[in-house]
Structure 1
Amino acid sequence: MNRRELLKGLTVLPLAGATPQVPQSTIRERDIFKELGIRTFINAAGTLTYMSGCIMRDEVVEVLESTSHHFCMIDEVQDKVGERIAQLVHSEAAMVTCGAFSAMTLGLAGILTGLDVRKVEQLPHLAGTGMKSEVICQKSHNERYNHAFLNTGCTIVEVETVEDVEKAINEKTALLHFLNIVSNAGQIKHEEWVALGKKHNIPTSIDIAADVPPVSNLWKFNEMGFDLVFISGGKAIRGPQSAGILMGRKDLIAAARLNSPPRGFTVARGHKVNKEEILGMYVALEKYLSNDHEKEWKTWENRIAHIQNAVEGLKGVTTKITVPELGNVTPVLTINWDDTVVKLTGRQLRDRLRDGHPSIEAQFSGLPLYHYQAGSDSIDPAVAETLKGGNLVRVTAWMLQPGEEKIVARRIKEELLTASV
């Protein structure tokens, strides 16, 4: 290329440092979902990761957009945001992670390495390092998400009784872990678990990834004495789906930070959270805490009641509204029908709602949400039999946008009537 051709090419490029001017109308009007053929839907199922979690608050989206135009140091953002979050959740310290799973890996990594950079660089290779290598949890608490701990090189030791814990604790024990959503299944309860950790000077942690609401869970377990608490940010808090929060003891959070980006050569180098997500997570938490939670609950009840009223009078159909004791504590509507009257299975109704216009996602079994894995039909094999011959769907209202309850009610009623004998 000669000089004249080079100069000619430069005339069509923006000046160095200038931002290309894209008409705002063009940005707003572009429907990238339609352009790529991606299905969008009304979410009457809940905050499942494979369904993209939640819809972020408008304030969060604004922060993501506004902060994307500036540079800043990631560590400074984590420092400032961590201080504010810690105050809000009544913990010594906190940091934003790329989800609750990441918080688990980073929390344990911090316990193993402390502030020893050489140990940080050695994870997950624990042999010959002097680092501890075992995490103890109750058998009923050893869910698949504990794989986050395996990423550090540690192994899981299952127990069932206090006596089992006493026998299992040894010089390799790094952590005593508790899973809140199945706390009713284990013999050892929260306070006793914390007491065991303090007795043996071993950190205790709790996974409350999806356990808000109630809002009080954001500080309840910190005040109870757990050393580390892990929570998702892209569920009820309605922050970025790729964000979460690790909160707890100041020394452990500092060590977790040493294992996290922007530092390289760490087991969690791939756990990047950029400035937009960190700041967005903070704003989402701030907004969630300032909600009128009683008013919000009433809204959910009204939406669920509207759907229930639309179908409960249909022949062969029965309904029931329940509130789970654990997990996402929100109103849930279960719709059952007599399959001699309504020739339809739960799976078939789910599929018809999914394939209709507009598309709607609902649950087609009575399974708790935590049984679901990567896809809508991918569940724990141990409970897969529950789905055979099922004639029910479950609907939640807390992820519905205003007015969507009317669409959900109409479509479910239509499908039940169409399938009626």
Structure 2
Amino acid sequence: MLSRRKLIKRLSALPFVGGIIGGGVPLAAIAAAPAAPYRDYFAELGVRTFINAAGTYTAMTGSLLRDEMKDAYNYASEHYVMLDELQDKVGERIAKLLKCEAATVTSGAFSAMTFGMAGVLTGMDPKKAEQIPHLDGTGMKTEAIIQKSHNIGYAHAVRNCGVKVIEVETKEQLKKAINKNTALMLFINAYEPNGQINAEEWLKTGKENNIPCMNDCAADVPPVENLWKFTQMGYDLVCFSGGKGLRGPQSAGLLLGKKELIAAARLSAPPRGNTVGRGMKVNKEEVLGMWAALEAFVNGDHEKEWKLWEGQINLIADSVKGIDGLTIKIHVPPIANHIPTLDLSWDTKKVKISGNGLKDVLRSGHPSIEVAGGGENSVSITTWMMRPGQERIVADRIRDGLEKAAAG
């Protein structure tokens, strides 16, 4: 089915005379033609939809796609191109836009980490790319270093390449851990406050020892400046998710960094087979859509968007003021998901419901609403993944749920 935007584009290309388009069909007749029937696929499947007041969680399918991304996706779906050529050209545009040496579109930030690790190990040797993850006897290095507090599940992305992950906690431990087998130093940006070594100190140690450094910044936009902050700081490789704040394809991501390392990483990426990344395919629609979404994000009105989020959060917060036993806190997380966030917590002796209980009330109502947090007595709410106007529904439903619990 043609989108309204695509229909207008096609109509504009046809000859127009006195309200008649090519073929003698009056414009008024086309304008009045009934739209194709809407098919509610999720309803057919029995899959519930919900208002996302939680954030960009993979389990909640990330974000809603930008119109620019959908236009690019649909356009690409109607043409054939060579995948490597498309990645080359899009990578050049993204690198220019994000002020780095080189870039490539990957199947998520996790995939970007795997490709980055592979590129560091193999250089431009395709035979080595085929040997990953079996490193013994290949001449490739075998270890990656990470802070213990950063060693969350995502470190598995580099272990996919066969390396052993070495944990450190202090600067002294880091210096002692570096040896002839050290291939990479991995930093997880969102966990910087949890570790004893910050991003600049981590990078400095890597440079002093000629060890490539990679920074996983998956959920670390906004602010927009983060898209070039870490490559300009000197990180050799930086990874971002495409389907979170950028609102590109949920299954896409970005690998940014040094030109030679991005080229080496591509040796393990589709369409090449017999590599660790063969199953981490991004199609032409996702590659083009990721570029379009990124352009729209970088060139967007970030101040206007921020004011919208602040207004929405304040509206929800104001709606629950006056409930006895409730504590209201508005804050902005320092790194990941750096957006206005509302935390609600309460005295369960006065508001007789648990955090998980309130989540269940919101989830089971109509429309269904998802919030973050939970546990004994709290929930967390963001508005940046909502459609405008949904904040009023969320405000009413949360107030109703808490008031009923306070009355009970």
Instruction: Specify if TM > 0.5.
Output: yes
8 Å Cα contact 2:64/2:247 also seen in 1 = yes
Q: How does 1:11-410 map to 2 (within 5 A)?
A: 25-26=35-36, 29-365=38-374, 387=375, 390-410=376-396
What is the deviation of 1:24?
A: 9.5
C-alpha distance in 2 between matches for 1:364 and 1:99: 24
Determine if contact 1:178/1:205 at 8 Å carries over to the other structure: yes
- Distance in 1 between the 2:317 and 2:160 partners? 45
For 1:30, the aligned partner's letter is: R
Residue type at the aligned position of 2:293 = A
Is 2:381 the counterpart of 1:419? Answer: no
CA drift of 1:339 comes to 1.4
Separation of aligned partners in 1, 2:132 and 2:372? 40
- Give, as a single letter, the amino acid of the residue that structure 2 aligns with 1:146: A
> How far apart in 2 are the matches of 1:203 and 1:338?
49
Aligned-residue offset at 1:252: 0.4
CA-based RMSD: 1.2
State the 1:136 CA deviation.
0.5
The AA in structure 2 aligned to 1:103 is A
The residue type equivalent to 1:32 in the other structure is Y
The residue type paired with residue 402 of structure 1 is P
Q: Report how far residue 64 of structure 1 moved.
A: 0.8
**Contact kept in structure 2, 1:349 and 1:364, CA below 8 Å:** no
The superposition leaves residues 308-363 of structure 1 with CA deviations (integer Å, 9 ceiling, x where unpaired) of 11111223222110111121111111112221222100000001100100000001
Q: Distance in 2 between matches of 1:199 and 1:257?
A: 27
Q: CA–CA distance in 2 between the matches of 1:357 and 1:284? A: 31
After the TM superposition, list the runs of 4 or more consecutive aligned residues in structure 1 that deviate by more than 3 angstroms.
Answer: 23-26
Moved more, 74-83 or 312-321: 312-321
What is the percentage of aligned positions where both structures have the same residue?
57
Contact 2:237–2:256 (Cα < 8 Å) also in 1: yes
SS of the residue corresponding to residue 176 of structure 1 reads strand
- Distance of 1:38 and 1:24 partners within structure 2: 28
Q: Is the 8 A contact 2:190 2:336 kept in 1?
A: yes
Residue-pair matches, total: 375
C-alpha separation in 1, matches of 2:214 and 2:373: 33
2:244 maps to amino acid:
K
TM-score, normalised relative to structure 1: 0.87
Partner of residue 17, structure 2: none
Q: 1-side partners of 2:398 and 2:161: how far apart?
A: 46
Q: Report the residue type matching 1:119 in the other structure.
A: K
* 3-state SS of 1:46 partner: coil
TM-score by length of 2: 0.90
One-letter code aligned to 1:418: K
Q: Which amino acid aligns with 1:401?
A: R
SS at the partner of 2:105? strand
Amino acid at match of 2:391: E
Question: Partner amino acid for 2:398?
Answer: I
Say if 1:24 and 1:110 are closer, same or farther in 2 by CA, change over 3 A.
Answer: farther
Q: Name the amino acid aligned to 2:301.
A: D
Instruction: Give the letter for the 2:89 counterpart.
Output: K
| Contact residue 353 and residue 359 of structure 1 kept, 8 A | yes
Q: Which moved more, 1:181-190 or 1:241-250?
A: 181-190
- 1:171 is aligned with what amino acid? K
Counterpart CA distance in 2 for 1:292 and 1:346 is 35
